[in-house]
Structure 1
């Protein structure tokens, strides 16, 4: 996971002082007032080449990045970190973008729509070049709502309390550690800042905005293919790490001994045509603004479909074998039908999602795969699951029944099933149930609804 220090990019905005960055209003929750009321003025570069020639002249580098190196020599750039933190911590951004999907965790989404600075930082051609080179694949931002997604661990139990403790200056004060803190084991403690999960998108860049000196915890843990857990040290302040988070199950350990842990994340997909796109929006549906999420999701998926079709049309101009051409076009059509079906299925009715969350709780939504594993060992499981699927009284006219039949046929033919948790062969000896199908598609709220109707949820609650 190559690491980099992207904050030299910010210096063309800030010069020698954070006050020279951009004259945006910064909200101070402590005083309930703005710190800077100068009208918004953002200096705009006349072009990418001019911007980066200026950076090279002044700093003798294009971002602090070295190709093919796992880790860079650490170079603290406090001004750059403060410059970035200043943008998402404005009152408008906090008011419109803050939520708390997990206990003790504050999340800022859609900050890019409130801050031109955040957008420019992540979408600049040089930034895109670097993240692409870091993973060896040409990358594109998935969609605007996934630019600068910020996860915040800070003191406070409510959104108001947590936002009141946000400051532009990174906290450097270490907190006294209790005996429990010193023996903190995130693999046994349920208080991880982000529990075990797969990211919704193939690639992510995680940029650290907090001082990690003296921090206990705060690392990322990944599960390897054999199930073994491996700890990956997090990046230092001002550094970033690339993670193939959509393919690797991982968790973010809660930080102990520090007043804050703030990281900001941008998600990417490969821009190469004919590369499988495992993206989904399972993780973000419960708390994202679906009025903006769903249209962006649809647009990006249709653009990818357009690129696939364009490449095929360009390629078939050279194809001289009619039989091979028919085979190729059928493969193309099959893949695009699956892709469009997945695109549609992910856009669950927001009202239904919120109804299920109120009934079963948000923790159960994110814990759905583990719940499924637990109930499979119960004596009554097969009876209840079989009865629910055979009677089909649960949403009898649902599109999910045809999905189940399609997957069952795929298993019968010995073909792999594509899933939000990866692509694999069905190797279990038991029947493939509707619960399996819904989790395969990342439809956790629909899964919980089926689980409740089948009686398996009651079984689980009585364990």
Structure 2
């Protein structure tokens, strides 16, 4: 088998070969062992609700065999995948999204019952892939200034070349350095599996840091080649450290939700909208959300059919209807029209989009903040007929009743002395581009820009 793999790697060295890809076979391509440790919410000093997994994440565990890694890379580097799926947010970084539509191997690997059993077992809860577009999202660090330059560097055989690092680079601390790949954040979806497709020996960085309940950070070592880690990313705040010292770093990610009815689905599309094809994303989002709604209603109906007296429990029924109404509202609010999304993104920039929570903290310290924010809301200078004003009033009423609000940062308990503004409401919902638009209408954006 080793000789075959060596010859195969030589023959498949170019990603442009048109030969037929392999068929996924778990007996050949998987090499699974359970994670040595599961990190619990309790370990991290974080609260766990009854409708989430007690597992916050896992240490790295073997998932793909040596043959599996090369078969996955071979499928990933097919010319049709690169042509249809590649984009580059900046030099040295390549993103492949939607590869499952071009490659049966990638789709079958992530959706195979054995793979689904493994990821579900790792998180201690039955999982479903969140939606097709989130299968195998792949991030590639490789040298090159253009997509063409970067794709030419991709080979089926994992690169083993190292990059010489200076003492300063070796001393890199992602908790103090602003160059983390992804700064402190929560994921858009409840659960995620990160699979490594590159050699990591000699690599500096590449770890995940999780923020504990006491404010300290716990490091989770990055996976080696063929290994994976699982994370309940919507419930734990984390950052990804930049990898240094290697010629390539290829990781592929699939996101999940619990398949159990009554288990809260905390999904948002905040992190996804700026780079996704919204005409593909929105239909998939709608279908998965309606399936979840269907499952909740079916579960309730099956319960009361077995125990008819439960249908008289108005508290349970009211809870179901309230939760599903809110679920549908959030489903709709996340789908900002592509035209409006693009207009706002062009006006304020993708950097400001991802930096929106920090920008909000800064503008709150401005002397003019209360006057401008309050005036913008009382006079409705921004989108006066928008449904967001109804959302704002509902949240203000919930705060008055001392209820918590769901948000992209977990449950929100309003403990600030000031008024709750539209800016708070839009960020709570993860509508960063809409928040920036409101900020611009209020006059706070212009003042913030003068500070920069």
TM-score by length of 2: 0.89
**1:214 and 2:202 matched:** yes
**1:66 and 2:54 matched:** no
Indicate if the aligned counterparts of 1:170 and 1:210 stay in contact, CA closer than 8 A. yes
Which one of the candidate residues 109, 134, 142 is aligned to 1:146?
134
- Over 3 Å counting, the alpha-carbon distance change for 1:221 and 1:276 in structure 2 is same
Indicate if the aligned counterparts of 1:18 and 1:82 stay in contact, CA closer than 8 A. no
**1:364 and 2:332 matched:** no
Which one of the candidate residues 431, 437, 440 is aligned to 1:443?
431
Which moved further from structure 2: 71-80 or 88-97? 71-80
* 1:136 matched residue in structure 2: 124
Q: Once the 2 structures are TM-superposed, how far is the Cα of residue 394 of structure 1 from its aligned partner?
A: 0.3
**1:373 and 2:341 matched:** no
**1:431 and 2:419 matched:** yes
For residues 430 and 72 of structure 1, what CA distance do their matches in structure 2 show? Answer: 44
Q: Once the 2 structures are TM-superposed, how far is the Cα of residue 160 of structure 1 from its aligned partner?
A: 3.0
**1:204 and 2:172 matched:** no
**1:190 and 2:178 matched:** yes
Say what the alpha-carbon RMSD is for the aligned residues: 2.6
- Over 3 Å counting, the alpha-carbon distance change for 1:74 and 1:328 in structure 2 is closer
* 2:48 matched residue in structure 1: none
Where do 5+ consecutive residues of structure 1 fail to align?
1-10, 29-33, 45-50
- Over 3 Å counting, the alpha-carbon distance change for 1:400 and 1:103 in structure 2 is farther
Describe how 1:388-399 pairs up with structure 2 within 5 A: 388-399=376-387
Which one of the candidate residues 439, 446, 450 is aligned to 1:458?
446
Describe how 1:294-333 pairs up with structure 2 within 5 A: 294-321=282-309, 324-333=312-321
Q: Once the 2 structures are TM-superposed, how far is the Cα of residue 109 of structure 1 from its aligned partner?
A: 0.9
Indicate if the aligned counterparts of 1:67 and 1:133 stay in contact, CA closer than 8 A. no
* 2:56 matched residue in structure 1: none
* 2:153 matched residue in structure 1: 165
**1:355 and 2:331 matched:** no
For residues 176 and 277 of structure 2, what CA distance do their matches in structure 1 show? Answer: 33
- Over 3 Å counting, the alpha-carbon distance change for 1:144 and 1:320 in structure 2 is closer
Indicate if the aligned counterparts of 2:21 and 2:75 stay in contact, CA closer than 8 A. no
Q: Once the 2 structures are TM-superposed, how far is the Cα of residue 74 of structure 1 from its aligned partner?
A: 6.9
Indicate if the aligned counterparts of 2:193 and 2:231 stay in contact, CA closer than 8 A. yes
SS of aligned partner of 1:419: coil
* 1:346 matched residue in structure 2: 334
Indicate if the aligned counterparts of 1:18 and 1:83 stay in contact, CA closer than 8 A. no
SS of aligned partner of 2:366: coil
**1:276 and 2:244 matched:** no
* 2:43 matched residue in structure 1: none
* 2:83 matched residue in structure 1: 95
For residues 386 and 13 of structure 2, what CA distance do their matches in structure 1 show? Answer: 49
Q: Once the 2 structures are TM-superposed, how far is the Cα of residue 26 of structure 1 from its aligned partner?
A: 8.3
- Over 3 Å counting, the alpha-carbon distance change for 1:264 and 1:18 in structure 2 is farther
What are the Cα deviations for residues 372-414 of structure 1, in whole angstroms up to 9, with x where unaligned? 1121122211111101101102001001000000001010001
* 2:237 matched residue in structure 1: 249
* 2:46 matched residue in structure 1: none
- Over 3 Å counting, the alpha-carbon distance change for 1:323 and 1:128 in structure 2 is closer
TM-score by length of 1: 0.87
Q: Once the 2 structures are TM-superposed, how far is the Cα of residue 229 of structure 1 from its aligned partner?
A: 2.3
**1:406 and 2:387 matched:** no
